[in-house]
Structure 1
Amino acid sequence: MKLKFRQYGMRFYPRGSNFAPPNPPPPPRLVVFPVNRDSDSDASKSCNDQAWIAEGLPINAFGKALRRRFGGRVQRVSIDAGFTCPNVDGAVTRGGCNFCDNRSFSPSRRVRLKQVHDQLTGGIITVRKRYNKVAGFIAYFQPATNTYAPVEQLREVYELALSLNDSPDFHDEVVGLAIGTRPDCLPESVLSLIEELAQRTYVSLEYGMQTIHDAGLVWMNRAHTHADMVNAIDRSRGRGFEMCGHVILGIPGETHEMMMQTAAEIGRLGFDAIKLHNLYAVHGTPLGDQVLAGEVRMMEREIYLQTVVDFLERIPPDVVVERISGDAPSDFLIEPKWCLEKSSLRSDVEAELARRGTRQGSHFVPPAQPPADRPVPEDKTPDSIRAKIETRGRLPVLKMES
């Protein structure tokens, strides 16, 4: 199986024609919302701190946060565990997100668990060749919805990744898990499983939030609402795992003000980490067809850069920034071509923060109700999704090696 180590979560963003940076408010006090972890153990310390400010950095960057936590470079290895999505298989709708190549998430795909093992070991070997010193690896369950299967099947897959630590060739090299999912695929049974795993290892749960505006979610064919996101994170908080929000900037119809409202929600809900993605269109997707037909245009680089800086200024300083842009392989990418130059974009974002004399969190306004004080709501996972997760047996998308 050919291994892929780029970030392939197909997230897309059209031109923000109504972009108009607002006058920034005065810098408020800095507020920390700590993750509920055992502070007596170095291995369990949260990445969420403000050491980056003392170091004079402009952003609470993921790589630096992991170094502080684990004592060295930590690399993620992407794993395709063969899952699908409820907006692909018909549980909530069909067609999938308009930015994804759903052929790769089709239920007709078969991924054996041995292949999951091989993806992880192969990824570790590849990274070892690239970097001389790596403190550990995070098994990143990335494509599709990685909590959308019978819960005992999920346990089996997650435990398979962690069991690599028992191998003499990879002893204690897997320092944690990252699990990408949708907010409507987190019933209590799944959250309890992830909480259990987080007592033993670092776990980051990545929620496909995308935007707080339901019109944008409809445009993407997500088939969930922002209320689903609020319900999921309010039930996740304080369980010992880190909560990462994935956000799309520049959805058609969203103004600059609307995107900044999404930024404010990051602090209101108490996310521990965030991923920001630019819109890119790839071949074989509904969005790609729209771009080729001239119906949707990508955000220009300068507008995206300014929007990202505005966004970073408005999120809490303790939120770890896992990425500020996304890309795709050049042979699949339609537009924008500038997203292939990630390092220069990162440098320009930091330069713009320096020019403004600001940093991440400079214009963060703490919510009236601290996230830790928010009540835990009733589990509102849709019945059609719950039926797929809280069932005995196995889904056909994963089969054991015979």
Structure 2
Amino acid sequence: MPYNNPFIYSDDNKRYHTWNYYLKHHFHQKVCKVPLNANFSCPNRDGTCGVGGCTFCGSLGSGEFAGDIHKDLMQQFEDGKAMMHRKWPNAGLIAYFQAYTNTYAPLHVLKDTFDPFVERDDILAISIATRADCLEDDTIAYLQSLTKKKEIWVELGLQSVHDETAKRVNRGHTYAQFVSCIKKLAKTDIKIAVHLINSLPYETKDEMLESADRIAHLPIHAVKIHMLHIMENTKMAKEYEQHPFPVLSKEEYIDIVISQLELLPKEMIIQRLTGDGVKEHLITPEWTLKKVVVLNDIDKEMVRRDTWQGKRYR
């Protein structure tokens, strides 16, 4: 632990429990995610619970950096593996099913999708991005069976604990449904990560902090936090053009993120504090493109405040 850093889960200047720290200490090596696009759909697009998807979500279902949909999954993985190994030749790999809702299919389709990756010796873990309303009991039982061979992560997009916000962005499920899913997953060996988005339309700082505070007291393992990106060709972009709503500045975002980190237990892994938006399609905020600057400024401000993850966790 670095001198003068009061946070115990750190090998560097970070005052929060980074994903890299977890991977390094759990797998004892450098580990990289290889993002994949398995060509699933979403119940919020096909009419099951809504149409058009979440208003912030683009045509690629948050998979802008996932694999090439025109290639099969194994070729996508091989391409991603080659790219990662050019930078980190000995890195371990996580197969990351990123785009759309990756449990929204019949069980036999899920087995055909995930089983080949579970059997590969060069894959350390499987990470599956999905929704709380797309994890039936038989799917959870199947994913639990996979934990006997690999570490299995389920990443649940929540974005906000506030149902009014969920309606506003056409999320398609309630916070109560999310909590019900978490309780089921908590009875398994599946690792749980939850996504939060700051600066959703008309949410206040107190509401964003409430999202973090509620998440802090659920049986989950990790959280991803990132700033809202308003992207071209989304419903939110049209709304923003017609009726602009406040969007956080970098300084406001940093202030809120640090306050959220203070509320989260120190054991909870922080998989992300910034997100990616394709530069050519990002309408606002442009400051999110400078990810390293944002992360460095978070670190500096935490030192200045003499604070750390979990400082206000109760």
User: How high is the TM-score relative to the length of structure 1?
Assistant: 0.72
Structure 2: state its 5+ residue gaps: 1-6, 63-67
Cα separation, partners in 2 of 1:322 and 1:104, compared to 1, 3 Å: closer
1:91 and 2:40 matched: no
Residue deviations 1:95-141 (CA, integer Å, cap 9, x gap): 11101123669xxxx968x611110111001111122331x110000
SS at match of 2:152: strand
Larger gyration radius, structure 1 or structure 2: 1
Q: 1:142 aligns with which of 98, 115, 129?
A: 98
Residue deviations 1:178-198 (CA, integer Å, cap 9, x gap): 000111111111110111111
2:65 maps to which residue? none
Q: AA paired with 1:142?
A: Q
1:189 and 2:146 matched: no
1:39 maps to which residue? none
Judge conservation of contact 1:280–1:298 (CA < 8 Å) in 2.
no
Q: 2:126 aligns with which of 158, 164, 177?
A: 177
SS at match of 1:184: helix
Q: AA paired with 2:224?
A: K
Judge conservation of contact 2:202–2:246 (CA < 8 Å) in 1.
no
SS at match of 2:261: helix
Judge conservation of contact 2:35–2:98 (CA < 8 Å) in 1.
yes
CA RMSD, 1 decimal: 1.9
1:273 and 2:230 matched: no
For residues 298 and 266 of structure 1, what CA distance do their matches in structure 2 show? 23
1:68 and 2:25 matched: yes
Q: AA paired with 1:83?
A: F
Residue deviations 1:268-321 (CA, integer Å, cap 9, x gap): 212110000101111110112233345234211100010000000001110000
Cα separation, partners in 2 of 1:250 and 1:180, compared to 1, 3 Å: same
Judge conservation of contact 1:80–1:142 (CA < 8 Å) in 2.
yes
SS at match of 1:276: strand
Residue deviations 1:7-63 (CA, integer Å, cap 9, x gap): xxxxxxxxxxxxxxxxxxxxxxxxxxxxxxxxxxxxxxxxxxx85158774010001
Residue deviations 1:239-258 (CA, integer Å, cap 9, x gap): 11111010111222322211
Cα separation, partners in 2 of 1:230 and 1:59, compared to 1, 3 Å: same
Q: AA paired with 2:46?
A: D
1:359 maps to which residue? 308
Judge conservation of contact 1:249–1:279 (CA < 8 Å) in 2.
yes
Report deviation, 1:226.
0.2
Q: 1:318 aligns with which of 235, 259, 267?
A: 267
For residues 275 and 34 of structure 2, what CA distance do their matches in structure 1 show? 16
For residues 160 and 336 of structure 1, what CA distance do their matches in structure 2 show? 40
- Map residues 334-353 of structure 1 onto 2, 5 A cutoff: 334-353=283-302
1:229 maps to which residue? 178
2:4 maps to which residue? none
Using CA pairs under 8 Å that are at least 6 residues apart, name the structure with larger relative contact order, 1 or 2.
1
2:168 maps to which residue? 219
Judge conservation of contact 1:181–1:205 (CA < 8 Å) in 2.
yes
Q: 1:119 aligns with which of 72, 76, 86?
A: 76
SS at match of 1:102: coil
1:203 maps to which residue? 152
Q: AA paired with 1:89?
A: D
1:151 and 2:107 matched: yes
Q: AA paired with 1:317?
A: K
User: How high is the TM-score relative to the length of structure 2?
Assistant: 0.92
Q: Name the stretch that deviates more: 348-357 or 226-235.
A: 348-357
For residues 199 and 273 of structure 1, what CA distance do their matches in structure 2 show? 21
Judge conservation of contact 1:52–1:59 (CA < 8 Å) in 2.
yes
Judge conservation of contact 1:95–1:102 (CA < 8 Å) in 2.
no
1:332 maps to which residue? 281
Count of residues paired in the alignment: 303
Structure 1: state its 5+ residue gaps: 1-49, 166-171, 366-402
Cα separation, partners in 2 of 1:308 and 1:142, compared to 1, 3 Å: same
For residues 220 and 111 of structure 2, what CA distance do their matches in structure 1 show? 24
